Structure 1
Amino acid sequence: MRTRRAILEAAALVFEEHGYDTAKLSDIVKIANVTKGALYFHFESKEGLAQAVIDAQNEAQPQMLPQQFKAQEFVDIGMVFSHQLRHDALMRASTRLTLDHAGRGLDRVTPYQTWIELHVPLLEEAQRRGELLPNVDPRVPARLIVGAYAGLNTMSYTLGLDMDVQVSELYTHVMPGVVVPAVAIRLDTAPGRGARALYGPQGAHECRHSCAGGVSPREGA
């Protein structure tokens, strides 16, 4: 399993930098410090390896702290993923491959479906609790948020924007049209929310990426 993980992490670095078409298996085995035989033992092809990287985003869903409002937990899904994108090359490569049109045999449908289905139950529970505006269908904002998030990810990558800030602005502008005013004014949609959802009000965590709430490993020791 350690060899497989090393290959996945090396593949993430290469796919993130080069995309699918120009990524080379020779670069991946060099970074992972394994033989091509070891790579093919775990992954039958370049496409199979790329699919494993894509699937990683569905498997890496960290445990978030429970919140007073289910609408806040809905927001936290996206803010935590934004936090992961800053810290985890595997997540960045996974999203790039999902948005990349190369590699026609890759399954890019499941990630979208998985993320939508992750959001819907939270809004359904929020609806039962009276947090949503009347006539809001929980599936609609769930689908729109996932689609908008994908677009923001592409735009942020292309223009060099801070994804955490872009996602914060997305929720700040969208949520008042989804939840009742008494809930909307109490939602935390500010940048750094992902860290706060994972680590508590201050969002303090060991970090080498200068994100909100992060402290260097030396300072946090």
Structure 2
Amino acid sequence: MARLRQERAVRTREKIVLAAASVFEERGFARASISEILARAGVTKGALYFHFPSKEALAQGVMAAQGDALELPGGTAGLQNLIDLTLYLAGALQRDPLFRAGVRLAVEQAAFGMRDTTPYQLWIEAFGVQLVAAKERGEMWPHVEPERIARLLVGAYSGIQLLSKFYTDRADLPERVAEMWRCLLPGIAVPGMVAHLRIDEPLAALSSVPEGGLRPAPVPAGGEPVS
């Protein structure tokens, strides 16, 4: 009986988070209402407040859960895998409401009294894994520092997705990400590597992110040296 109650509580929490994500993504934090979230989730106010004592806590829960809807591309870590990852994320931002809501709330979080760098730091670390592997494989210039490039990438990507949201509701986001790489790669990748990297070819994963999302997969590390 206790296990059934626990499973029911987990399902209820997931329903609340997904409903809140859809409302936050559409309206933003300030205009989102608890009553609309309750209606979409199909739960009572008591059930919601059992899991989230305030609207701010609910927003934080959506931010924390944004990565739960992603299955990151596998493959050998390095520059191509990093490019593939950023293109995959562009597709996820077009299709996955939980990821979109988490990104929007991370940008708006000052409106509800938060200053949480965790969502950005997680992506800095994920990108950094790929860049460290790329340097070990001889894909990047010796003077390039992976941590600095990872921070630059996350900042640039955040701005690019915002511009794409404003201009085309992210319809052109993959093209904008490809443009970012065309500008960045000559400064970090060795000349012989740039010509072999796929930037413009769409990934199958971009058109296969379901509305409910997928479970996260670890970003691989390491790799064989480039011949």
- With the shorter chain as reference, the TM-score category is 0.7 to 0.9
1:142 and 2:150 correspond: yes
Aligned AA for 1:34? V
State which of 132, 141, 144 in structure 1 corresponds to 2:140. Answer: 132
Q: How does 1:1-221 map to 2 (within 5 A)?
A: 1-67=10-76, 70-100=78-108, 101-105=110-114, 107-160=115-168, 161=170, 162-190=172-200, 192-193=202-203, 195=204, 198=205, 205=208
Note closer, same or farther for the CA distance 1:109–1:206 as it changes in structure 2 (3 Å cut): closer
Describe the SS at the equivalent of 1:102.
helix
**Distance in 2 separating the partners of 1:2 and 1:163:** 33
Counterparts in 2 of 1:149 and 1:191: CA distance versus 1, 3 Å: farther
Give the direction of change, closer, same or farther, for the CA distance of 1:205–1:80 in structure 2 (3 Å limit). closer
Q: 1:185 corresponds to which letter in structure 2?
A: A
> Residue 53 of structure 1 contacts residue 93 of structure 1 at CA under 8 Å; is this kept in 2?
yes
Q: What is the aligned-residue identity percentage?
A: 40
Q: Are 2:91 and 2:209, in contact at CA under 8 Å, matched by a contact in 1? A: no
Q: Distance in 2 between matches of 1:138 and 1:47?
A: 34
Find the aligned partners of 1:191 and 1:15 in 2 and give their Cα distance. Answer: 32
Could you tell me how far apart the structure 1 residues matched to 2:126 and 2:210 are? 27
The structure, 1 or 2, with the larger RCO (C-alpha pairs under 8 Å, 6+ apart) is 2
TM-score, L = length of structure 1:
0.83
Contact 2:124–2:154 (Cα < 8 Å) also in 1:
yes
SS across alignment from 2:199: coil
CA contact (8 A) 1:55 1:111 kept: yes
> Shift in Å at residue 192 of structure 1?
2.5
- SS in structure 1 of the partner of residue 111 of structure 2: coil
**Residues 16 and 92, structure 1, Cα contact 8 Å, conserved in 2:** yes
Q: TM-score, normalised by structure 2?
A: 0.80
Q: Where does the alignment leave 5 or more consecutive residues of structure 2 unmatched?
A: 1-9, 212-227
Partners of 1:58 and 1:114 within 8 A in 2? no
Q: Post-superposition shift, 1:206?
A: 7.6
Structure 1 residues 60-96: Cα deviation after superposition (integer angstroms, max 9, x where no partner): 44141314x6111122221111111112101001100
Q: Which amino acid aligns with 2:83?
A: V
8 Å Cα contact 1:14/1:27 also seen in 2: yes
CA distance in 2, matches of 1:205, 1:125: 27
Aligned alpha-carbon RMSD (Å): 2.0
Equivalent in the alignment of 2:219: none
Runs of 4+ in 1 over 2 A off after TM superposition: 57-61, 203-208
Cα distance in structure 2, aligned partners of 1:190 and 1:136: 24
1:219 is aligned to none
* CA displacement 1:14-73 (0-9 Å, x = unmatched): 101111111101000001111111111111111111011111234444141314x61111
**Unaligned stretches of 5+ in structure 1?**
209-221
CA 156–108 in structure 1, closer or farther in 2 if over 3 Å, else same: farther
